[in-house]
Amino acid sequence: MSISFAQTRETMLDELVAANHILAHQGVIDAYGHISARDPEHADRYWITRAMPAREVSRETLVEVTLDGAPVRDAQAKLFFERAIHGEIYRARADVNALIHAHSPSLIPFCNSMTLLRPMTGPAAFIGAGAPAFDSRDVDDEGDLNVVTPAQGRALAQALGDHALVLLRRHGVVVAGANLREMTRRAVVAETNARQQLQASVLGPVQFLTQSEIDHRRKGSRDPDRAWTAWLQEARAARG
């Protein structure tokens, strides 16, 4: 089964490596976060790196897995154990072709409070009127905050709904996109927006986007690849 976005597997794999380097350089993802992309030729498979820091990812470290999280070829590959996040969201959302689970530092305060994460500027309009949240305690309360079982993954996918971002209580964030470039842009903007919202709240009442402003900006970005190009150049320069 194929999916409808115009990108070859080779291009996607190159961009998956690039997304890891960009988001590591931008401080969005740490040694424990993970990024995936749906295979352009098989909608029931996706690619993710072996368990390793994002800044060290290369084409050779990428592994193809099924939506159940099983490696297609390299059965001995040491992978991130929260693959249920990726598999269950891809299963639930045919429009999503790229995902990140990260522990973005400025987003953690919103994960652990009842204050809504809301868009401060136009680029953050994808957040909508307020980011939804997933609480692992609603599924089970065994003390493990990681999303590792299909039931937990399905509950997380349900909490995400048709949104682009979902906060994980006491844990981190998941950001979705139609492709790697959109997901990367959203992940960086979400971290920036959270930091700006925290800063603005110190000054007094905050002026957020109105619903009409959100709807207008959601019609499309004027130059969707500009940020990707700039961030990739910065990441490559930093790597030498």
The sign of the torsion formed by the CA atoms of 10, 98, 29, 139 equals: negative
Is residue 82 among the annotated active site residues? yes
SS3 71: strand
**Residues β-bridged to residue 65:** 46, 71
Per annotation, catalytic residue among 15, 82, 88, 182: 82
SS3 104: coil
Do residues 176 and 96 make contact, with C-beta atoms less than 8 angstroms apart?
Answer: yes
85's enclosing H/E stretch is helix 83-92
Please give the backbone phi and psi of residue 62, each rounded to the nearest 5 degrees, phi first: -85, 140
Q: In what order do the strands lie in the sheet with 98-102?
A: 62-66, 45-49, 34-38, 98-102, 172-177, 165-168, 133-134
How is residue 180 annotated by DSSP? H
Q: Which of 178, 200, 204, 176 is nearest to 190 (CA)?
A: 176
Q: What is the CA radius of gyration of the chain?
A: 17
Do residues 48 and 82 make contact, with C-beta atoms less than 8 angstroms apart?
Answer: no
List, in order, residues 6 or more apart from 115 with CB less than 8 Å away.
109, 201
Could you give the residue numbers annotated as active site?
A: 82
